[in-house]
Chain A
Amino acid sequence: MSKDAKEALKLQADVLVIGGGPAGAWAAITAAGQGASVILVDKGYCGTSGATAPSGTAIWYVKPEQQARENAMMSRMDMGGNLAERPWMQRVLDQTYHSMHQIRDWGYPFPTDETGGPNYISVQGPEYMRLMRKRVQKAGVRILDHSPALELLSDSHGVAGAAGINEQTRQPWRIDAAAVVIATGGCAFLSKALGTNVLTGDGYLMAGEAGAEFSGMEFSTAYAIVPYFSPVTKTALYQFATFYYEDGRVIDGAGSRRGRSIIAKTLLKEPVYACLDKADKALQVSMRKAQPNFFLSFDRLKIDPFTEKFPITLRFEGTVRGTGGINIVDETCATKVPGLFAAGDAATRELICGGFTGGGSHNAAWAMSSGYWAGEGAARFALKQGENRFNRNARGLSGLSGVPVQAEGSRSRINTEEVVRLVQDEVFPYDRNWFRSEEGLTASLGRLNQLWLEIKQGIRTAEGSRVGVREVAAMTATARWMYESGLARRETRGMHVRTDFPERDAAQHYRLISGGLDQVWVKPITATDNGNIEEALQA
């Protein structure tokens, strides 16, 4: 790698999509289909980046039959704290239905079930994302891989592009664009949950600097069951597991869904083991065909997970399988900032999940739906603007926020590795994040706010690490939005658990909007659509 300062690559596009997972790919394809010129940048490689590519994922695909749709919408309504909104659920079910058939027409090899027709309930990530990359290219979209965006550009009219760097060539880039879609995923805080180490909340930080708001950041306590050594997060398969203490006794009440908190409480004291001993031979075969990479970990270490007990832990998945994210203000997935759109896990998923999601399924449906709408909305927004849309004198927003973009040399500054460790120390422990309390959250926020001030003084890069100053700043900012929101919700709802307020409180049946960088703020807004569900359930 050359250390010489290179001249920036300068490009223009109607729509810039930041992030090349499913949401970004759908956004790019749809925007191009509207006649917009489109560039997609990915910090890794569009096709392998993100949580979807490495694994199999369920899809929230439901045939347009009234009863089936009704059941699908209501099945998780209570689990999500009644914060999901029916019109959004209906839109997503409709769009997902169409998008899945679109993928079939593009050549995705869906399995054939007993009906003799294709079954659309899941996709294999490597296959799906390889296909999506091909379609992005076929749509005429220019892809820049290994090209993280470092900051958004903006003028008085709104967002006008982004600037970043190619990590392999070290060449900076600047893209002037009439509209930007943020599809950078959630934030899993470098926990190595499968495929998530590119997901460090970069898009949240950029959106926050532009003045966008967040919603539901308190719903950020997702932890996945993994074999102790492994990155592979396939919590759903543990429905066929029994959980054991080290001495072989069964842990009462432990389970992959509602019983996960019992696993967490046990892990705080002692090791926990699992065995997939509830799966019969026929199911074992189906499980292998459904999740090839889940079994890689076991096969390579010569463990038979169906007969042998193996140690497990819970790996933090943050907002990737939480539901909070950038707040969207209309059906085009626009944010409150003109020209800025959000899709996929970067955006709030409360609209269809409320305060709980299991990963895959709803999130996958949301990615393809919100990606579609954001791409369409961004293209229309861009094409409405005149000839001068690329001559706007837009400036980088990090200058305004004071959050550094470049590393500093000074030895006295905190380094990226130290920031990562300090933030992880606040968000990983179950007794801080999963089981929250006013005392614990306030103490964490004190330390995180102090860290934020230190970051603004400048950060140096830890030797031998890829992780950049923007990524660690984004993680810190994300943790602060999470915990301020968690502090404001003085009840237990969805995945958000308060040990000091263990019950749901009907008076807090609202969404929490948050924002701000130096001064983080949180305010409630009424959940618009189903305001009376809570009361009806209580009656």
Chain B
Amino acid sequence: MAKVLIPTPLRQYAGNQKEVDIAGATVGEILTSLTSEFADLRKHLYTDEGKLRSFVNVYLNDEDVRYLDKDKTAAAPGDTLSIVPSIAGGGR
């Protein structure tokens, strides 16, 4: 069970909730169960090929899961999983 924090723009696809408690032993299990509960979230988080979109970051507590064990990263009860938008810019 982890607390999943939904970024403001995606809350409309998650029953207007800021955070959702989702069961699962790994990051992958939690995200799968999150996107089956809220199907509209899926296309915002994953590509058609089922890969996490490049402009979506997933943090377990304060670590990027890409640098942990990705989908297989173990989540302990009480952990916080944050979906974090990539934001950048520049150019004149």
The yes or no verdict on A and B being binding partners is no
